[in-house]
Amino acid sequence: MVPITTLHYLVVAAALFVLGTIGVLTRRNVVIILMSIELILNAVNLNLVAFSRLYGLHGQVFAVFVITDAAAEAAVGLGILIAFFRNKETVNMDEVDLLKW
Amino acid sequence: MFFLTHIWIIPLLPAFGAAAMFFFGRKLSKPAVSAICVGTTVLAFAMAVGAVLQYVPWEHANNGAPFEKVMYTWLGSGTGHLTYLTHNGTPAEFKADAGFLLDPLSAIWLLFVTGVGMLIHIYSVGYMAHEGGYYRFFGYMNLFMFSMLTLILGNNYPMLFVGWEGVGLCSYLLIGFFFHRPSASAAANKAFIVNRIGDAGFLMGMFTIVWYFGSFQFTTVTHLARSGQFAVGDPVITMAALLLFVGACGKSAQLPLYVWLPDAMEGPTPVSALIHAATMVTAGVYMVCRSNALFVLAPEAMKVVAIVGALTAIFAASIGLVQNDIKRVLAYSTISQLGYMFLALGVGAFAAGVFHVFTHAFFKALLFLGAGSVIHAMSGEQDMRNMGDLAKRIPITHWTMFFATLAIAGIPGFAGFFSKDEILWQSWAKDSSAYHVLWIMGWVTAAMTALYMFRLMYLTFHGRPRMEHEVEHHIHESPRSMTVPLIILAFFSIFAGYLGLPHSLGGSDRFGEFLKPVFAPEAQVLAQQAPAQLAAGEAQAEHTSGTEYTLMFLSVAVAFGGWGLAWKFYRHADRGYVEPIAAVAPPAYQLLLNKYYVDEGYDYLFTGRRKLGPVRLGAMGLGEATSDFDKYVIDGAVNGAGWSTRALGTLSRLWDTYIIDGVLVNGPAVVSKVVSYPVRLLQWGLVQWYALVMVAGLLGFVAYYAWR
């Protein structure tokens, strides 16, 4: 059994990050995009936690912050989404182009 | 000395009467109005007599000095604040006192103005009894007396001027007394405006004097003029004298400003007698006499005065020959007699001129009052063609007027004979023979005077009655308040001349002697002039008393000649009688009847009431010209300014729209819009694409740093 090293964690985290990024860029549904952003954040959390094995507990503390932040972000993002849906009756990202010039 | 030191009360008495009429006249009854206004003139006359009686011994005690009484400083503060520079650069104070001057000259005027004025006031009580505006009439009359007394008693030119304007105002008010009659108000305006022309001259003369002599005061100016500092013929003094004479021409109705006097007959007859015959119109003579020291220094001005006087005399007398309105005949007669007076002044015979003023005041006032009595009897008729045969019906009027006619015609023994003869003699006796022409003019005038006066008498009182039956029925002698003044004036018309009985007739010329303190130094200057003119080669006629008798005989002869002609032509005048001049020379008759068309000429030249061809001259022409100037030049400039402002505004708007807004404001906007367009395309609004670009960029950076 190969011992699980920090590298493994990093690979998993990188994989999660890439998955999240691809999800953000490719999916049309805003809910899925929000979930993908959660993936990216959790990839970061994984990194923080992994590195805390080497460098002390600071990383775990940061991970808690990020989780808090993610919760807040999900709340705000879903709020915006509901408001948007009320106006446009859609949650498709390619139909949201109100921010152009 | 009471009357002399309180001489200021004399003008204030009628001023009080005028003020009373002004404030309470409406509420007073006719007897109360008469009592106040006649009373003030009677008191004024009494005080005037008292003042003169006290002045004569005072004058003897003071070597013929004039009596001056200064009440207070009227113009100028007396503190030297109002100083100016006279012609030679010395500072003088601009100052006039409310001061009174009594010397023989003003004493004579004072006596006959108050005396005749009083009689005319008494006469007016009867004459105006049935007219409206009774209190107004007497208020104006009293105001006139006040102004006239200020004029003759003032001791400086501004005081004289105030009186001068005051009498002008009263003249205006009284000529226009029947103001509901358009002709009366037009006549009043004419008198006022024509007098203003003269007054302009007077004012300029007055200020020339104050500039040249540094004083307004008569005594100071006279003293300086006689001091020998100023040469005879001094141009400034000549100018001042001529300007003063322009004023005199206006007030005393001389050519060419006489035109107002005949029209002034629109006023009530007592007004014509008081203002336009006896007193006011002699103010010009008074003013020239008052300035005699200046006129003597200006021989050229004297010549002008003499020539204007002689021309006026003969000119007005010739018009008087054919006029039909009884008052107009007397008006032209007055102008003519005033011409005599100026002729006298012009030849240096000041005393003779004043003497004629004095006698004329009586007989001309009498003639006018008599004419008023005739008009009264004739129920307002003034045209002599509709009179005749009144002698028996109004005998007192007839006889008093007859004596006045004898006096004015120069019949020996009556007042006018002495004064007129003195003038004629003095104009002949003047050293240069050129003056004989003036004598001839005066002599012809004397003949005309006799003719038109006896024409008036015969047409009015003799011949066949030519009036309407209705009018004839009403003829009655005037009430006593009118006849008594007539009788008193008739007395003076007969005897006033004996005051100045000349030496050649065994008299002592007491009138001339009385005036000597005023005029004596002039006699010296004039006498000094004579040798100078002799040196210039002018011949001097030898005058003996034989010449004087001859001339006297000639003027008496023409007086009787005129009487005789009138007797011949008008004695039996009936309805439709023909004027002898009209029978002999109709054009001449028309010319005279239309008063030489002078009024029409003035209308063409000065008033502009008539157009000269297409052009309008004179005042109305000036008005039209200024109206056109206003309409085309001023309004044109205004409209031009408006138009150019509007054009400029349009230009400015276009500039603003196209240059400022178009280029400067919108220009940068357009530029930035064009420039920003490609940049704008980058913002297409799809967040995922932005994120993709971010990731691509991130990967790019990572790749760059990884493989560097």
How far is B385 from B379, CA to CA, in rounded Å? 15
Q: How distant, in Å, are the alpha carbons of B100, B282, B629, B642, B644 from that of B637?
A: 56, 51, 11, 8, 10
Q: List, for residues B617-672, the tens digit of each pLDDT value.
A: 888 888 888 999 999 999 999 999 999 999 999 999 999 999 998 889 999 999 99
Provide the pLDDT for residue B536.
43
CB atoms within 10 A of CB B352: 31
Q: Do residues B241 and B293 touch, judged by C-beta distance below 8 A?
A: no
Q: Identify which of A24, A96, A99 has the shortest CB distance to residue B691.
A: A24
- What's the average model confidence in pLDDT over B138-166? 93
Count Cβ–Cβ pairs < 8 Å, chain A vs chain B: 30
Q: Could you tell me the pLDDT band of residue B3, with boundaries at 50, 70 and 90?
A: confident
Provide the pLDDT for residue A66.
94
How far is A63 from A69, CA to CA, in rounded Å? 10
How far is A12 from B629, CA to CA, in rounded Å? 107
Q: Tell me which of B395-409, B441-455, B542-556 is least confident.
A: B542-556
> Taking all residues of chain B, what is their mean pLDDT, rounded to a whole number?
87
Provide the pLDDT for residue B529.
62
- What's the average model confidence in pLDDT over B467-478? 84
Provide the pLDDT for residue B610.
82
- What's the average model confidence in pLDDT over A14-42? 91
Give the whole-number percent of chain B exceeding pLDDT 70: 95
Contacts of B695 in chain A (CB under 8 A): 21, 25
Residue to mutate among B679, B680, B686, B699, with most A CBs inside 10 A, is: B686
Q: What is the largest CA-CA distance in chain B?
A: 162
How far is B672 from A65, CA to CA, in rounded Å? 45
**Six token digits for residue B65:** 């000095």
Provide the pLDDT for residue B116.
92
3-state SS of B633-649 is: HHHHHHHHHHHHHHHHH
Cβ within 8 Å, pair A93-B685: no
Q: Could you tell me the pLDDT band of residue B531, with boundaries at 50, 70 and 90?
A: low
Helix ranges (DSSP H) in B97-181: 104-127, 134-153, 157-175
The Cα of B695 is separated from the nearest Cα of chain A by a number of Å equal to 8
Q: List, for residues B245-264, the tens digit of each pLDDT value.
A: 999 999 999 988 999 999 99
Provide the pLDDT for residue B538.
39
Q: How distant, in Å, are the alpha carbons of B219, B547, B652, B658, B681 from that of B667?
A: 90, 112, 19, 10, 22
Contacts of B691 in chain A (CB under 8 A): 24-25
Higher pLDDT among residues B12 and B478, named by residue: B12
Higher pLDDT among residues B387 and B46, named by residue: B46
Contacts of B684 in chain A (CB under 8 A): 97, 100
Q: B 680-699 residues with CB below 8 A of A? A: 680, 683-688, 691-692, 695
**Six token digits for residue B165:** 């304007």
Cβ within 8 Å, pair B687-A99: yes
Flag whether pLDDT at B542 surpasses 50: no
- What's the average model confidence in pLDDT over B525-547? 54
Provide the pLDDT for residue B77.
67
Nearest Cα to Cα of residue B523 among B316, B87, B226, B131? B226
- What's the average model confidence in pLDDT over B42-66? 90
Q: Could you tell me the pLDDT band of residue B526, with boundaries at 50, 70 and 90?
A: low
Provide the pLDDT for residue B315.
92
> What single string gives the DSSP state of each residue in B503-522?
GGGT---HHHHHHHHHHHHH
Complex prediction ipTM: 0.82
Residue to mutate among B679, B687, B689, B694, with most A CBs inside 10 A, is: B687
Provide the pLDDT for residue B676.
87
B704 touches A: beta carbon within 8 Å = no
Cβ within 8 Å, pair A93-B688: yes
How far is B420 from B423, CA to CA, in rounded Å? 5
Cβ within 8 Å, pair A94-B692: no
What DSSP character marks residue B597? G
Q: List, for residues B78-112, the tens digit of each pLDDT value.
A: 666 778 888 888 888 888 888 999 989 999 999 99
The Cα of B657 is separated from the nearest Cα of chain A by a number of Å equal to 30
Q: Report the residue of chain B nearest A30, measured CA to CA.
A: B688
Contacts of B685 in chain A (CB under 8 A): 96-101
Provide the pLDDT for residue B690.
85
- Residue partners of B627: CB distance under 8 A and separation at least 6: none
The Cα of A15 is separated from the nearest Cα of chain B by a number of Å equal to 15
Provide the pLDDT for residue B113.
93
- What's the average model confidence in pLDDT over B552-559? 89
Any idea where the domains of chain A sit in the sequence? 29-92
Q: List, for residues B144-157, the tens digit of each pLDDT value.
A: 999 999 999 999 99
The Cα of A40 is separated from the nearest Cα of chain B by a number of Å equal to 13
Q: List, for residues B563-577, the tens digit of each pLDDT value.
A: 999 888 888 888 878
Flag whether pLDDT at B533 surpasses 60: no
Q: Could you tell me the pLDDT band of residue B528, with boundaries at 50, 70 and 90?
A: low
